[in-house]
Amino acid sequence: MHNKKINILIIDNHNSNENDFIEIFKGTSVNIYLADGIENGIEIASRYLPDIIICSISTLEHGKKLIENIFSEPEIRFIPIIYISALGYSTEEYREIMNLGVADYFPKNFHPSDLVKSVKIRVKLNSKFKSQLTEKCQRAFEIENQRKKDHILITVGKKLQLIKFEDIVCITSEKEYSKIKMLKGKSLIVRKSLKNWLEVLPPNIFLRIHRHSIINVNFIEKIEKVKLRTYAIYLKTLTKPLELSRRYSYLMKKTFSGNDKI
């Protein structure tokens, strides 16, 4: 399982034994918490936000009501729910419970290893979903808030940094990451593609010169022709030139039309 322990909240209304669940998850990285009843369980879930909720309910009516109440709470509606029935497998009950939006359903006589596997899968999928959602929200935040500004907010590790456009010399790709080379020699590695960079960088300052690089035109020192339609671009503060590929050479010529640099 994950390095971080998974917090599982058990909500029941028919006196489940905490030790039963502790035994099921023995040897795995989980913390088991058994709520005293349905109302108490919902309040605990809202306050402490477990990674997953297991509902062990005596009747279908109570089970449906519990699930509906969980999904009505904004703080906990996206926490995965695993439902354990008090009955043997019932097609009718299974369909009704799954249609409410739970992550998984188990009849009373389930196999413990199946429950462990289900918890692992649901927590992993939910973690991935939250990560992707956070990344998309961060990207939308950047696009909407940076276009008219002189800076950009980027996430380095888990922290935000404010980077001024005028301090960015160039950006080069490193597979799914990119390297920002700053004024005074500082470099930053961030998880962002060059395509995404072009959505937030001001086009009057930054120009893509290669599928692997974007430059700040204000830092161009000189441009030398290497061969037909191929150039080497020297930027201030950098010791080695960057290649201007044939594909992007027309953009450079358009940008510097009438300029003696090229």
pLDDT the model gives residue 19: 55
- CATH 2.40.50.1020 residue window(s) in the chain: 147-255
- The pTM score is 0.53
- CATH 3.40.50.2300 residue window(s) in the chain: 6-135
**What is the mean predicted confidence (pLDDT) over 87-95?**
88
Asked if residues 197 and 143 have their Cβ atoms less than 8 Å apart, the reply is no
Band (pLDDT 50/70/90 cuts) for residue 260 is: very low
Helix H, strand E, coil C: the string for 94-135 is HHHHHHCCCCEEECCCCCHHHHHHHHHHHHHHHHHHHHHHHH
Pull the structure tokens for residue 155.
Answer: 């996430």
CATH architecture of 147-255: Beta Barrel (2.40)
Q: Does domain 6-135 have CATH number 3.40.50.10800?
A: no
Band (pLDDT 50/70/90 cuts) for residue 1 is: very low
Asked if residues 98 and 54 have their Cβ atoms less than 8 Å apart, the reply is no
| Amino acid identity at 57 | I
Counts of helices then strands in the chain (DSSP H, E): 7, 15
